[in-house]
Amino acid sequence: MLEFDQLFGRPAEVIAEIGFGNGTSTWQMAQSEANRNFIGIEVHQPGVGQLLLALQRHGLTNVRLYCGDAVPFLQQRIATGSLAGVRVYFPDPWPKKRHHKRRIIQPEFVSQLARCITNHGILHLATDWQAYAEHMLEVLQVSSDFVNLSATGDYCERPDWRPYTKYEQRGERLGHAVHDMLFEKLA
């Protein structure tokens, strides 16, 4: 298991971002939330390279990266209750019905996230695919580990900490509504 204070060289809350793409939102969050540490998890090597360059260009030292699949990484390297939060922004929606099983937000994965997130930590999801947003809500609503922070029981306004992403811009150009979902890990 990773020892975060040793890994980052300082004690601070750790936020994991899963599927950071080219990393623009990751370095922006790390810059604006300098009091926190970030772990970015991404399978796409060119995106990891772009983020490494951006971190160097902006002089950011509060980010560590993992290039690989999030599921085994969380299982094998992240201690129980060690993350202050997890952010999953605009994951692949796998819109074809036969591919829905490939969506990252599934009950088993949510259980793994619950294990990793500390009590009262925040799981933040965002998507511009209505069907995937509904799927995410369904999965989280049956989880006994999380409570929805939306006053209406569904979606929240985009929090200030989430940068405006290229996928969000693309979705808006296509006429898609963007849905943010915030869930608190129950004690």
Query: What's the chain's length in residues?
Result: 187
Q: Is 92 a catalytic residue?
A: yes
Distances from the Cα of 104 to the Cα of 35, 111, 161, 164, 187, angstroms: 29, 12, 22, 21, 24
Angle CA(68)–CA(141)–CA(19) in degrees, nearest 5? 20
Q: Which of 5, 92, 154, 160 is flagged as catalytic?
A: 92
Q: Please give the positions annotated as active site.
A: 92
